[in-house]
Amino acid sequence: MTTALITGATAGIGAAFARRLAADGHDLVLVARDTKRLSEQATELHDRHGIEAEVLTADLSTEDGIAAVEARLSQPRQPVDLLVNNAGFGNKGRYLEVSMADELTMIKVHIEAVLRLTSAATASMRERGRGGVVNVASVAAFVPRGTYGASKAWVVQFTQGAARDLAGSGVRLMALCPGFVRTEFHQRAGMGTDNIPGWLWLDADKLVAAALTDLARGKSLSIPDPRYKALMGAVKLAPRGLLGGITSKTGRKYGPK
């Protein structure tokens, strides 16, 4: 039996990872801020799949929250075989419309927490000679899109660099770059989604299945859908100015408060 630790497991993509990994027989450590929601999910996954699901309440925008998860990842008696750094959020507004406090919180959750948790996990995985890390980035990593896109670009570069450095150690790292996925993400950020065409939306369960296939194949970067693979191919060729004009608007229209 192997154990997977998933951050941001209460909703959306993280919850989809939890469902899929539990169905595959992995024990779980579920991390997020909402203890009640985590406990209900742990009970349901235990009852349905017979796996052990541990709840670890942690706010990854705080020192205590990051340190608690680092400590769990470093426990030699209950090793974690797969880490999914998935917790994340969007900020409503463009550059200078978002408060500095919110920008810094994003950097803490999307960058500092990912760096520290990946490092805690891979240090112990390397000693055991096996393990995997999935860092959830976004296709926003490849386009100009404020602190969100910049933080996800960091996730991609960091993960692919670390994957290369740890090649041959038995530890795999992969950056996962979804396009638009139907989750709580946009609603939580107060972003309207009316201007996002229907064909661009992905299903979280299908996304996770494709991501785990890519991880098993040893990829260090996963863009798990033909539509987005084609779009990202076009992005590489598009002029930067044109790209910025389109991407700074798409999916950032404000919904009702």
Taking the least distance from each CB to ligand NAP, the nearer of 60 and 80 is: 60
Quick one: 11 or 120, whose CB is closer to ligand NAP? Answer: 11
Q: Which of 5, 13, 80, 82 binds ligand NAP (CB under 6 A)?
A: 13
Q: Please list every residue from 199 through 238 that binds ligand NAP, using CB under 6 A.
A: none
DSSP state of 8: S
**Parallel, antiparallel or unpaired: strands 27-32 and 53-57:** parallel
| Nearest-angstrom CA–CA distance, 55 and 181 | 25
Active site residue 95: no
| Tally of residues, the chain | 257
Of 5, 10, 6, nearest to 183 (Cα)?
A: 10
The three-point CA angle 116-121-124 to 5° equals 125
- In the complex, minimum distance from the CB of residue 49 to ligand NAP, in angstroms, rounded to a whole number: 20
Is residue 11 a contact point for ligand NAP (CB under 6 A)? yes
Minimum CB separation of residue 126 from ligand NAP in Å reads: 25
The answer to whether residue 149 forms part of the interface with ligand NAP (CB under 6 A) is no
Residue closer to ligand NAP, measured from CB, 47 or 203? 203
In the complex, minimum distance from the CB of residue 189 to ligand NAP, in angstroms, rounded to a whole number: 8
Q: How far is CA 146 from the centre of its chain?
A: 18
DSSP state of 200: G
Helix (H) or strand (E) holding 172, with range, is strand 171-176
Q: Does position 12 bind ligand NAP by CB under 6 A?
A: yes
Q: CB 168 → ligand NAP: shortest distance, Å?
A: 29
Q: Which residues are catalytic?
A: 148
